Amino acid sequence: MALNGKIAVVTGAAQGIGRAITELLLQNGAKVALLDANKTNGESLKEVLDKLFGEQTTLFLHCNVESEEQIKAAFQKTLGTFGRIDILCNNAGILNEEEWEKTISINLAAVVRTTYMALEHMNKMTGGQGGVIVNTASMAGLGPLKCCPVYTATKHGVVGFTRAMAAASTAAGYGIRFNAICPGLVKTEMLSSLSNKLGQFSHLAEETNTIIADKKMLNVTEVADCLLELVTDETKNGEALQVRCNGKKYMTFPVFT
Ligand SMILES: NC(=O)c1ccc[n+]([C@@H]2O[C@H](COP(=O)([O-])OP(=O)(O)OC[C@H]3O[C@@H](n4cnc5c(N)ncnc54)[C@H](O)[C@@H]3O)[C@@H](O)[C@H]2O)c1
Ligand SMILES: CCCCC/C=C\C=C\[C@H](O)C/C=C\C/C=C\CCCC(=O)O
């Protein structure tokens, strides 16, 4: 799938992995609507991108993915400006075991909400032109992290939702591919602010920070490179791609009929 002329929506685009995804999509010729709840970061990134890629190639839309109304408005603005949506990257996420309901709301419920809203515009069965949806899960979507059970649950949920949607899409002919990316530790603000986000598991903060300090971490660009493969390789559907410092691996799961 070549990206020239393609229109992408990226959530959590203002910093970290979302910013790297946005920059890589732009470098490959796509236009991008950047959705983020952080207006200051989003607006200053838009200024940087205007200079690098031209004003017409991006939109920054201040949007909390927990709000159905705000997502709807962001999709309408994207369609009004760019005319279509081909790619959705559900990337916004938090790690907060204290505010665990908010973690479920942003990391899982919002992925479902945004995906269903995107289907209204992308689904070939209802007049759309198809495309691809890539969800940012985590290695915590493939195995447990004892310091953050709710974060772990949301990322397992994202992997399951992605794979089931891929199967539903194939069965019904949506013309949309669904894939999940599952990175290990990535150098972003999410991990640097971890200690005070563990709630009742804060007794594990010191141990967790020691593990993090000892491990080699991924750069955001390494994650974005792998995500680009899931966007462009039309053979990839229903995949969970694990990304670690020592390489990437397409995961296998039990098959049942
Ligand atoms: N950093 C890691 O080690 C790591 C590893 C695997 C997966 N992930 C996942 O990658 C994704 C991005 O995380 P990151 O590490 O870049 O974190 P980050 O904190 O650097 O960036 C997250 C972005 O999402 C935005 N955001 C948060 N809540 C939002 C909301 N309700 N609505 C809209 N935007 C919102 C933030 O404003 C921020 O710009 C998350 O889903 C995270 O779980 C991170
Ligand atoms: C191993 C404990 C680290 C705990 C860090 C806390 C939260 C991280 C959340 C991210 O989404 C990353 C999720 C899982 C990382 C798990 C293991 C990484 C080990 C690195 C490797 O071997 O590749």
Cross-strand bridge partners of residue 61: 35
Q: Among 188, 192, 217, 241, which residue has the most ligand 1 atoms within 8 Å of its CB, making it the best to mutate? A: 188
Residue 2, pLDDT above cutoff 90: no
> What Å distances lie between residue 126 and 56, 85, 119, CA to CA?
29, 14, 9
> pLDDT digit string (tens) for 164-212?
999 999 999 999 999 999 999 999 999 999 999 999 999 999 999 999 9
CA of 185 to the centre of ligand 1 (A): 12
Active site positions, annotated: 151
Amino acid present at 23? E
* Tally: H helices and E strands in the chain: 9, 8
> pLDDT digit string (tens) for 217-243?
999 999 999 999 999 999 999 999 999
ipTM over 0.95: yes
Amino acid present at 206? E
Atom of ligand 1 minimally distant from the CA of 65: 32
The C-alpha atoms of residue 175 and residue 6 are separated, in whole angstroms, by: 15
Atom of ligand 1 minimally distant from the CA of 17: 16
Tell me the pTM. 0.99
Mean of all residue pLDDT scores within the chain? 98
The C-alpha atoms of residue 109 and residue 172 are separated, in whole angstroms, by: 23
CA 255 centroid distance within chain: 25
Reported in sequence order, the residue ranges of the chain that DSSP labels E, i.e. its strands, are 7-11, 31-36, 58-62, 87-90, 131-136, 176-183, 240-244, 247-250
Would you place residue 1 in the very low, low, confident or very high pLDDT band (cuts 50, 70, 90)?
low
Nearest ligand to the CA atom of 89: 1
